[in-house]
């Protein structure tokens, strides 16, 4: 890891922690940051502990973990397809997960009896994971030609599968009643509202298990940047590595989607920003992960408090609205700078 | 060679006629050729005549018009961006139109299809020019820059749309029926209102076809051959904006038609735009009419919207096209 990447990672980590603390301290009951830290370290009075550890920490933790998972997923996909547009949103993970989750929301919704506790807790996340994996499996299998997964083809076929899934989602929104459609639309935007530990823990496990595995592929990723031919002459088994990375990226994105819905743009933007800030040939994994965590935490802070600060009203926006609104202009700015430099 | 292409174009035209006829004859109630002919030529107000003339003929006409618009818009975008992924949906044009319509619904200016067209047109044009301007900072619009910019703009506009939609249940209720993409219930008035936009867009597209062939040689070569690149791009963008706006306003953001029509046309006719553009119009029209017909036949009483059918049936077709040919234009 070069010094620049190291500094970037450290800065992202510190900022993410700082914003997480702020996020734990603001809300209906404002708490001093000192009390929050005390509660996190095991002290503080009962009320503070309840608010910080039981109510706010699951949400903040889910945000951090989901950010890491999406960002790493995006970094892997962009590197292995050598396409800056590649992200779980494009190759079908998010749309597969969305179609499956919305199916559960609408079909088990008020139309056919209220969704019960267990179905809501397990059904939607489980459906999201299965849907995401299934969609990507389809994309992966269809992209194989003469035994090799073609880089450009993954993105193009992903677009096709995503289009199919999205039209199913649109149809489900029409046949459901308006309450279910509203809930589905909120889920589709990507929201961290009312998360519990049962949302955070699966994502946490996925990150804990898969991030080290992804980092272990660092050398192969470096080689893939140079092209398939060069990579295989350097001793990389291109096809096998690509499948492994595709699986890792998919599982990370599917788990993240199951935890918080398909939060837009994190997977697309975080790797690009990290790559440009670090001035590397491909998105650096660790910096990307931390940048993703920072991005989602900051966006959620804005989503929770933005409209109130602007005095529009006491509404909370879904975090995905903010990540897209913030991420898109930044990406536009970066593309513009790159083109001027050419 | 040219003769072969004319033949294939005529074949596509016949295909459109056949699906048009099928769309008039088939549905919840199946009518014979005789009944359809009777309804078209000497309607006497029987049930069959009413079904054909006031239900099936208008929506089929709208489907042909919108299909042609979105098909051509897709082919134009693929040509201008030299990007196989290019499509009004992916490049933020539909997202711009959708945001403008949702804003219109929210403020209350959208009451009829007429006002929807104007909203969609303004949104589509702003999005098209915005993407082009953003992508052409510095040394001009490169295909990759345009693609990334389009994706970014689409996401940004989509986020704003969902923010508005989520804060207000009424807007969501209107929006979800529009956003699915359907020709159901569209009458001749809808076709009439979008027709001027569509016609101007199609004419501009036809004018743009030859310039696109030159642009395909690379900007430098095209400029060397005396083409005003700025003007060619401007005409192309205007055409894309008009065609997408017409399509989106009439039927909602029907995805996939542009991708599908452009690719299928390229497979049949090769890379020459003077053939590609009329072919995309015919393929787009045939595809949307067929999708609407299939949706009516499989859905029973509650029909499946054409946008849904196109997504589900079109995707495997599209994947087949992608797998058979190189993806880079």
pLDDT at site B323: 75
pTM: 0.77
Chain A residues in contact with B251 (beta carbon < 8 A):
none
Per-residue pLDDT reduced to its tens digit, A241-257? 888 888 899 889 988 98
Query: In Å, how far from its chain's centre is CA A66?
Result: 5
Q: Residue B113: what are its φ and ψ, rounded to 5°?
A: -60, -35
d(CA B115, CA B123): 12
Over residues B236-250, the pLDDT tens digits come to 888 988 898 888 888
DSSP A144: E
Distance, CA of A269 to CA of A273 (rounded, Å): 6
* Average per-residue pLDDT for chain B: 81
- For range A260-289, the mean pLDDT: 88
Is B327–A153 a contact, with Cβ atoms under 8 angstroms apart? yes
Share of chain A above pLDDT 70, in %: 89
Closest-CA residue of A relative to B255 is A163
> What confidence tens digit (pLDDT) does each residue in A14-44 have?
999 999 999 998 877 788 888 888 888 887 7
| Residue of A138, A150, A160, A340 for testing the chain B interface, max B β-carbons within 10 Å | A160
Q: Does B78 contact chain A (CB < 8 Å)?
A: no
Structure tokens at A41: 């370290």
What is the pLDDT, as a whole number, of residue A112? 44
Which of A93-102, A166-175, A211-220, B130-139 has the weakest average pLDDT? B130-139
pLDDT, tens digit (0-9, with 9 covering 90-100), for B258-301:
888 888 888 888 878 888 899 999 999 999 999 988 888 886 66
CA distance B236 to B76: 7
Residue A101 pLDDT exceeds 80:
yes
- Asked if A161 has any chain B CB less than 8 Å from its own CB, the reply is yes
Task: Tell whether B133 is within 8 A of chain A (Cβ).
Answer: no
Q: What is the pLDDT of residue B325?
A: 58
Q: What span, in angstroms and rounded, lies between the C-alpha atoms of B145 and B83?
A: 10
Minimal C-alpha gap between B43 and chain A (Å): 35
Asked if A340 and B148 come within 8 Å (Cβ–Cβ), the reply is no
Share of chain A above pLDDT 90, in %: 23
CB pairs under 8 A between A and B: 171
Gap from A206 CA to chain B (nearest CA, Å)? 27
For the segment A224-243, the average pLDDT, to the nearest whole number, is: 84
- Looking at 1.10.730.10, 3.40.50.300, 1.10.3470.10, 3.10.20.30, the CATH number of the domain B2-89+138-146+165-324 comes to 1.10.3470.10
A168 contacts B312? CB cut-off 8 A: yes
Residue B160 contacts A where some CB pair is shorter than 8 Å: yes
Among residues B58, B324, B125, B328, the alpha carbon closest in space to that of A145 is found at B324
What does the pLDDT read at residue B205?
92
Whether residues B166 and A189 touch (CB distance < 8 A) is answered with yes
All residues at 6 or more sequence positions from B7 whose CB lies less than 8 Å from its CB, including other chains: none
CB-based contact, B17 to chain A, within 8 Å? no
Determine what percent of chain B is predicted with pLDDT higher than 90.
Answer: 12
H or E stretch covering B175: helix B169-179
Residue A334: predicted pLDDT: 66
Domain boundaries, chain B: 2-89+138-146+165-324
Partner residue opposite B152 with nearest CB, options A181, A332, A341:
A332
Asked whether A262 and A74 are in contact (CB, 8 A), the reply is no
| DSSP SS3 for A265 | coil
ipTM above 0.85, yes or no: no
Average pLDDT, chain A: 83
pLDDT of amino acid B329: 45
What pLDDT does residue B91 have? 73
pLDDT of res. B112:
63
Measured between alpha carbons, how far is B310 from B89 in angstroms, rounded to an integer?
13
Q: Cα separation of A341 and B12, whole Å?
A: 46
Contact (Cβ atoms closer than 8 angstroms) between residue A163 and residue A94: no
pLDDT of residue A72: 95
The answer to whether residues B301 and B243 touch, using CB atoms and an 8 Å cutoff, is: no
Residue A110 — pLDDT band, cuts 50, 70, 90? Answer: low
User: Across A137-151, A280-294, B125-139, which has the greatest mean pLDDT?
Assistant: A280-294
Q: Tell me if B255 and A163 make a contact (CB, 8 A cut-off).
A: yes
Least Cα separation, residue A244 to chain B (angstroms) = 22
pLDDT above 80: residue B191: yes
Comparing CB atoms, the residue among A84, A171, A336 nearest residue B308 is: A171
Window 198-257 of B: residues touching A by CB (8 A cutoff) are: 255-256
Q: Which residue has the higher pLDDT, B53 or A131?
A: A131
pLDDT in tens, B58-84: 889 999 999 999 999 999 988 887 776
**Hey, which residues 296-315 in chain B have their CB within 8 Å of chain A?**
302, 304-305, 307-312, 314-315
A191 neighbourhood in chain B, CB within 8 Å: none
Mark which residues 132-151 of A lie under 8 Å from B by CB: 142, 145, 150
Kindly report the nearest CA distance between residue B182 and chain A, in angstroms.
Answer: 10
B149 touches A: beta carbon within 8 Å: yes
User: Does B308 score more than 60 pLDDT?
Assistant: yes
> Who among B155, B166, B176 is closest to A328 (CB)?
B155
The per-residue pLDDT for range B100-142, each reduced to its tens digit, is 888 887 787 766 656 777 788 888 888 888 877 776 665 455 5
pLDDT at B50: 78
Q: Chain B residue with minimal CA distance to A328?
A: B152
Task: State which fold the A3-336 domain adopts.
Answer: ABC transporter involved in vitamin B12 uptake, BtuC (1.10.3470)
Is the pLDDT at A342 greater than 50? The verdict is no
Confidence of residue A337 (pLDDT cuts 50, 70, 90): low
How many angstroms separate the CA atoms of B73 and B81, rounded?
12
Nearest to A325 among B156, B255, B327 (CB): B156
Predicted confidence (pLDDT) at residue B89 exceeds the cutoff of 90: no
A42: left (phi over 0), alpha (psi -120 to 50) or beta: left
What mean pLDDT comes out for the span B215-224? Answer: 82
**Chain B residues closer than 8 Å to A264 by CB:** 155, 158-159
Coil, strand or helix at B89: coil
């Amino acid at each position: 890891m070069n010094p620049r990447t190291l500094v970037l990672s450290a800065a992202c980590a510190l900022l993410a922690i700082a914003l997480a603390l702020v996020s734990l301290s603001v809300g209906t009951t404002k708490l001093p940051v000192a009390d929050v830290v005390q509660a996190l370290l095991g002290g503080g009075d009962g009320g503070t502990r309840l608010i910080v550890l039981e109510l706010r920490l699951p949400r903040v933790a889910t945000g951090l973990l989901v950010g890491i998972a999406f960002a790493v997923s995006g970094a892997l996909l962009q590197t292995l397809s050598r396409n800056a547009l590649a992200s779980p949103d494009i190759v079908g993970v998010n749309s597969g997960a969305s179609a499956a989750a919305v199916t559960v929301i609408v079909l088990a919704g008020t139309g056919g009896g209220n969704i019960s506790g267990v179905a809501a807790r397990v059904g939607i996340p489980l459906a999201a994971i299965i849907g995401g994996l299934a969609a990507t499996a389809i994309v992966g299998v269809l992209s194989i030609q003469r035994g090799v997964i073609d880089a450009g083809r993954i993105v193009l076929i992903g677009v096709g599968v995503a289009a199919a899934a999205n039209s199913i989602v649109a149809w489900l929104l029409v046949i459901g009643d308006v309450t279910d459609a509203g809930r589905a639309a909120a889920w589709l935007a990507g929201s961290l509202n009312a998360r519990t530990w049962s949302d955070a823990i699966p994502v946490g496990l996925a990150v804990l298990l898969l991030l080290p595995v992804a980092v272990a592929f660092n050398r192969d990723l470096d080689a893939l940047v140079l092209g398939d031919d060069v990579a295989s002459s350097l001793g990389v088994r291109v096809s096998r590595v690509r499948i492994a990375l595709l699986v890792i990226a998919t599982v990370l994105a599917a788990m993240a989607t199951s935890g918080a819905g398909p939060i837009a743009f994190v997977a697309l933007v975080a790797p690009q920003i990290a790559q440009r800030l670090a001035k590397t040939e491909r998105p650096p994994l660790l910096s990307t992960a931390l940048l993703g965590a920072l991005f989602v935490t900051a966006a959620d802070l804005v989503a929770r408090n933005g409209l109130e600060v602007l005095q529009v009203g006491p509404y909370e926006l879904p975090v995905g609205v903010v990540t897209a609104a913030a991420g898109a202009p930044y990406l536009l700015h970066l593309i513009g700078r790159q083109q001027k430099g050419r | 060679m040219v003769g072969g292409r004319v033949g294939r174009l005529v074949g596509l035209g016949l295909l459109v006629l056949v699906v048009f006829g099928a769309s008039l004859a088939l549905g919840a109630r199946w009518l014979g050729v005789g009944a359809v002919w009777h309804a078209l030529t000497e309607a006497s107000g029987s049930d069959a005549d009413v079904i054909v003339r006031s239900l099936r003929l208008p929506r089929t006409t709208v489907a042909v018009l919108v299909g042609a618009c979105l098909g051509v818009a897709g082919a134009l975008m693929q040509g201008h961006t030299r990007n196989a992924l290019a499509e009004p949906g992916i490049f933020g044009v539909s997202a711009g139109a959708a945001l403008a319509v949702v804003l219109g619904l929210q403020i209350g200016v959208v009451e009829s299809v007429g006002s929807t067209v104007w909203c969609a047109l303004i949104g589509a044009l702003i999005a098209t020019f915005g993407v082009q301007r953003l992508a052409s900072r510095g040394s001009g619009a490169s295909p990759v820059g345009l693609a990334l910019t389009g994706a970014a703009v689409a996401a940004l506009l989509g986020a704003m749309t969902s923010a508005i939609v989520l804060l207000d249940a009424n807007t969501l209720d209107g929006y979800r029926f529009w956003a699915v993409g359907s020709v159901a219930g569209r009458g001749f008035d809808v076709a009439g209102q979008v027709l001027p936009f569509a016609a101007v867009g199609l004419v501009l597209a036809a004018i743009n076809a030859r310039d696109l062939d030159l642009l395909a040689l690379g900007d430098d070569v095209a400029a060397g051959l005396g083409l005003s690149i700025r003007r060619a791009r401007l005409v192309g963008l205007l055409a894309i904006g008009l065609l997408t706006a017409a399509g989106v306003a009439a039927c909602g953001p029907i995805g996939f038609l542009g991708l599908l029509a452009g690719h299928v046309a390229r497979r049949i006719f090769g890379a020459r735009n003077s053939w590609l553009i009329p072919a995309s119009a015919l393929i787009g029209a045939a595809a949307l009419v067929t999708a609407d017909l299939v949706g009516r036949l499989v859905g029973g009483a509650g029909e499946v919207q054409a946008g849904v059918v196109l997504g589900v049936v079109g995707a495997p077709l599209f994947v087949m096209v992608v797998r058979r040919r190189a993806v880079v234009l």
